[in-house]
Amino acid sequence: MSGLFQIKSYFRHWLHTVDEHSIHSPFFFDFYEKVIKNKTAQADFSQIEDVRNKLLASKMEIEMNDLGAPSRHFKNGKRTLSTIAETSLSPKPLCELFYRIVHYLNATSILELGTSAGITTLYLAKQSNARVVTFEGNPAMINIALTNFEYFDTANIRLIQGNLDTTLSDYLQNPAKLNFVLMDANHRYEPTLRYFSLLSKRISDKGVIVLDDIHHSEEMTRAWHELRHHQLVYASVDLFRCGILFFDPALHRQHYTWTL
């Protein structure tokens, strides 16, 4: 993302930001107070953060195969785990937000597109009554993630390996409804809309889809604006780093711009 595009995007976001005093919907006032504003730790994430810190300190080199948008940080495929952890993993406050959302929704069926090293996946799996299915196409990162899952002896995580263009559509042949979806894989316009089209047919009325990096690039911002106006989306929240899409018809086409 160019520096100029980032500055313009954040300035536009800041101009439209509101706080709880401008929220008239009872649902979104409650959501804002309990999920966005309340940042009290609702679970113990210290062991997960210990793993993140080990990744940040690791100088081990692995070969990366970017299946989505090219990395804006690297020009070749070989990278150290520390640089991947620093540039590719969702930061702790964002992981905690994702957990607060699934906890608020009491989500039992969770889907994550883009496992990476599995840090965010482990946060989502803290929702103990939930089943987390996560997708990753890079063999090197799959090995790292599976090692982390084994370390935590997680029984509620399933990692599906392979190219998302094939694995997602195959998995969604299962008609079961989804409560929470995190889209953090291919940061391009066309794949984002294509994956959303598949996922929106399986999301429950009370479920949400979170789209990460909505201001990563002009094409991601264009995808975000199109998706929040989609006929199946009844409300949306722009948090700048990510966007939340709601599918409950009772929400009556609302949109909010908030800051974390």
Q: Is residue 228 part of a domain?
A: yes
pLDDT at 68: 53
Residues recorded for the chain: 260
Q: Is residue 31 part of a domain?
A: yes
Q: Is residue 13 part of a domain?
A: no
pLDDT at 73: 47
pLDDT at 32: 96
Q: Is residue 153 part of a domain?
A: yes
Q: Is residue 157 part of a domain?
A: yes
CATH number at residue 245: 3.40.50.150
pLDDT at 1: 45
pLDDT at 30: 96
Q: Is residue 61 part of a domain?
A: no
**Domain count for the chain:** 1
Residues in the chain with pLDDT < 70? 1-3, 10-11, 14, 21, 66-77
Q: Is residue 69 part of a domain?
A: no
Closest by alpha carbon to 35, among 193, 190, 239, 248? 239
pLDDT at 64: 78
* Residue-wise pLDDT tens digits, 211-259: 999 998 999 999 999 999 999 999 999 999 999 999 999 998 999 999 9
Query: Is-contact 34 23, C-beta < 8 A?
Result: no
Q: Is residue 242 part of a domain?
A: yes
Name 66's Cβ contacts closer than 8 Å, sequence gap at least 6: 77, 138
Bridge partner residues of 37 (DSSP): none
CA distance 228 to 44: 33
Measure Cα distances from 122 to 105, 185, 186 in Å: 18, 17, 21
Q: Which domain holds residue 227?
A: 23-43+90-257
